[in-house]
Structure 1
Amino acid sequence: MPATFNHTIVASIDQQVAAAFYRDILEAAEAPSWGPFTNLQLDGGVLLQFAEPPVEIQMQHYAFLVDDDLFDRAYARIVERNIEHWADPQTTRPGEINHEHGGRGVYFKDPSGHALELLTRPYL
């Protein structure tokens, strides 16, 4: 069997707030939670597991490939909620989206400070 991505743990200041943020922006499905994790499920069975680690949280980057319709809905929620966002990962183009790789993309931060990216076309 070839390797596939199964899950990742998203370190969170408040896992309930973080999970709700991702669920809302990505329209992700709730999944059964257990132990120290609050879980969401993405298409293909990938789990996002939110937890509150007993250490300082280091910023991570999570990029999500979405279709044009979900991008439109998610971007509308980002703008409606005044979530700071940029067209580039260097944060030099605030309040914009990009049109790179034949699609659209946007960068923003989650409630714990992780850098998120939505893109409508894969880089490769």
Structure 2
Amino acid sequence: MPAELNHTIVPARDPLASARFLAGILGLDVDPPVAHFTPVTLANQVSLDYDRLDDFEPHHYAFTLSEQEFDAALARIEHGGITHYGDPSCQQDGQIYRSKHRTGRRGTYFRDPDGHLMEILTPGGTGS
């Protein structure tokens, strides 16, 4: 069997609040706790296991969404008053990007309550 990512641990000051934040943006549910983890499982069955930690460096997490899911997530971001950016350095407020290298790919970045840089993006078109 080829290697597959099963889960990753996401450090958070308040795991339940952070899991709810991301799940709300992505239109997912927060799973029941597993030991001291608060998991959010993605469509490909990879789980983000939120774990309480007070001191950590922010990480980057990127999520591929269909065009319709992207539009819905972006609407939830905007409706929630969450600042989003067209670049990973967070300089282009209120923007989305369109990839120059992958036909049709759109995306945007936003910060979660713990400062992690989240990215939502659509699949690239032909040739991506």
When normalised by structure 1's length, the TM-score is 0.92
CA shift at 1:28, angstroms?
Answer: 2.0
The residue type equivalent to 1:88 in the other structure is: D
- What residue number does 2:35 align with? 35
Identify which range, 8-17 or 23-32, moves more after superposition: 23-32
Deviation at 1:34, TM superposition (A): 1.8
Unmatched segments (≥5 aa) in structure 1? none
> Who is 2:108 aligned against?
106
1:91 and 2:93 equivalent? Answer: no
Cα distance in structure 2, aligned partners of 1:24 and 1:60:
19
Taking the TM superposition and a 5 Å limit, the aligned residue runs for 1:55-70 are 55-70=54-69
Q: Displacement, 1:38?
A: 0.7
- CA drift of 1:77 comes to 0.9
Amino-acid identity (%): 39
CA distance in 2, matches of 1:32, 1:80: 27
In structure 2, distance between residues paired with 1:30 and 1:111? 16
Q: Distance in 2 between matches of 1:29 and 1:6?
A: 18
Give, in angstroms, the shift of residue 30 of structure 1.
3.3
- In 1, the alpha carbon distance for the partners of 2:20 and 2:32 equals 14
1:118 aligns with: 120
| Offset from partner CA, 1:96-124 (integer Å, 9 cap, x none) | 101112221000000110000000025x5
Partners of 1:92 and 1:50 lie apart in 2 by 28
Cα distance, 1:90 vs structure 2: 1.6
Q: Which has the higher helix share?
A: 1
| Aligned-pair Cα RMSD in Å | 1.6
Amino acid aligned to 1:38: T
Structure 1 residue ranges (4+ consecutive) displaced by more than 6 angstroms after TM superposition? none
Length, aligned pairs only? 123
TM-score under structure 2 length normalisation: 0.89
